[in-house]
Amino acid sequence: MLMTLLCVCLQMANLVTSLCCVVFAAVVVAYAQRRSQLVARNQYERMGSDVTMQCGSLDNDASVSWKVNGTDVKAQHHLEGPRLILTQVNLGHNGLYSCFQNPHGERRDTIFLHIGIPPKEPSITCRSNTYPKGFYCSWHQQHPTYIPTIFEVDVQHNQRSLEVQKDSVHKNRCHVRFPEVFSSFPYKVNVTAVNALGNASMTFSFEESSIVKPDPPERVTATPIRFNSRRLEVSWQSPATWPDIDNFPLKYFLRYRPLIREQWQHVELSDSTSHTITDAYNGKEYIIQVAAKDTEIGTWSDWSVAVHATPWFEDPMPITSTTEVDFPTETKTSPIPSSNAPQKAEPPVGRAARVLTFFSPLLLGMMLLLM
């Protein structure tokens, strides 16, 4: 009897467990279906085109409403059942579009609309600043696509593909090792730009010697020479990226000018990393730069960072002040005034005497008449 009850209990427990599993599975499926409708899907469209967005899998007679970024759609559009049609889209149409089924307003689909243009042929440049170790190639789109664009790179030499290593810093750059030195076979670099709206390719061919271009010289210094007012001692170091300076030596090009003039003076040096300027202007500040090039192939590097220096000049002797000395005072006679110098005024007493002398005959005559 006990065993029978135990078996019945186990059977009931298994039944309950089975029912729970069925219910749980149904809930998971329903949740997954709902999540698939709510998670935004990307839709890429060409700029200037008319765009149609479908609200999930609703029938053509379904009534829906649309919102973009949580607000009503204000751009020029019209509705056709569950479809939203935008005309002549541009970058302003980018956004998150959601559709809701009427009359209860249940959200049925979410679309992230991206407006862009197909890629054009990329521009490619290649350069070896680590000759003969290897070279790198860079590429870019001459016009923006406004949507994510990737690049596929293939490098061919003597009818075989070379290993391409992506640059860790520059996303549009790759590095390739020279399979051999002094090769007469050209290199072919093919870059294909790809995005959701299309793709475009460009092939760039070159010979090994044409892309050799060192980095600029480093640690350029210019020092005045003591007691020489027309000389500057200039020195520099070869670029650290140039791997084998002994077997692949560099030559250098020095340019300098005083700041007060626009015209440069130039000196080409075979393999020296120093030079003495002997024709500097006394006391004038100079600007100095250096470039580098492989002695046999390639092109000149860019100019180094400019340095400034002024030739040595002697400080002027200080002017010493004379100690003041008290000298005895000398009495000096005034010079005799010249004939046209203004005369001094006469004293008033002398003038009264002359007046009295002038009027004395008149007074005498008047006295005689009165008598």
pLDDT-based confidence at 307, cuts 50/70/90? very high
Contacts of 85 (CB under 8 A, 6+ apart): 50, 51, 52, 53, 77, 78, 79
Mean pLDDT (the chain) is 83
* Residue 317: per-residue pLDDT: 56
Give 153-165 pLDDT, tens digit per residue: 999 999 999 999 9
Give 80-100 pLDDT, tens digit per residue: 999 999 999 999 999 999 999
* Count of beta carbons in the 10 Å neighbourhood of residue 286: 23
* Tokens, residue 10: 């186990």
Are 121 and 108 spatial neighbours (Cβ–Cβ below 8 Å)? Answer: no
* Tokens, residue 249: 């030596």
* Residue 150: per-residue pLDDT: 95
Give 193-218 pLDDT, tens digit per residue: 999 999 999 999 999 999 999 999 99
pLDDT at 262 over 70: yes
What's the Cα-to-Cα distance from 232 to each of 154, 280, 283, rounded to whole Å? Answer: 50, 7, 11
In one-letter notation, the amino acid at residue 300 is W
In one-letter notation, the amino acid at residue 136 is Y
296 by Cβ neighbours in 10 Å (0-12 / 13-18 / 19+) ranks as exposed
What's the Cα-to-Cα distance from 110 to each of 64, 72, 85, rounded to whole Å? Answer: 13, 14, 15
pLDDT-based confidence at 261, cuts 50/70/90? very high
* Side-by-side strand order, sheet with 286-294: 265-269, 250-258, 286-294, 307-309
Q: Which residues pair with 254 in a beta bridge?
A: 267, 290
* Residue 28: per-residue pLDDT: 41
Average pLDDT value for residue range 349-359: 43
Average pLDDT value for residue range 251-256: 98
Q: What are phi and psi of 318, to 5 degrees?
A: -70, 145
pLDDT at 55 over 90: yes
Rounded Cα distance, 208 and 110, in Å: 53
pLDDT at 173 over 60: yes
* Residue 324: per-residue pLDDT: 45
- Give the end-to-end CA distance of the chain in Å, rounded to a whole number: 200
* Residue 6: per-residue pLDDT: 41
370 by Cβ neighbours in 10 Å (0-12 / 13-18 / 19+) ranks as exposed
Give 61-79 pLDDT, tens digit per residue: 999 999 999 999 999 999 9
pLDDT at 356 over 90: no
Rounded Cα distance, 335 and 266, in Å: 70
* Residue 25: per-residue pLDDT: 52
Q: Which residues pair with 86 in a beta bridge?
A: 51, 77
Rounded Cα distance, 53 and 85, in Å: 6
* Residue 223: per-residue pLDDT: 96
* Residue 345: per-residue pLDDT: 37
* Tokens, residue 252: 């250098």
Longest dimension (CA), the chain: 200
* Residue 103: per-residue pLDDT: 84
Give 5-52 pLDDT, tens digit per residue: 444 444 545 554 554 444 455 544 444 445 444 689 999 999 999 999
pLDDT-based confidence at 54, cuts 50/70/90? very high
* Count of beta carbons in the 10 Å neighbourhood of residue 354: 9
Select the more confidently predicted residue: 324 or 167: 167
pLDDT at 111 over 80: yes
pLDDT at 348 over 60: no
pLDDT at 121 over 50: yes
Reduce the DSSP state of residue 91 to 3 states and report it. helix
pLDDT at 263 over 70: yes
What's the half-sphere exposure (Cβ side, CA atoms, 13 Å) at 78? 4
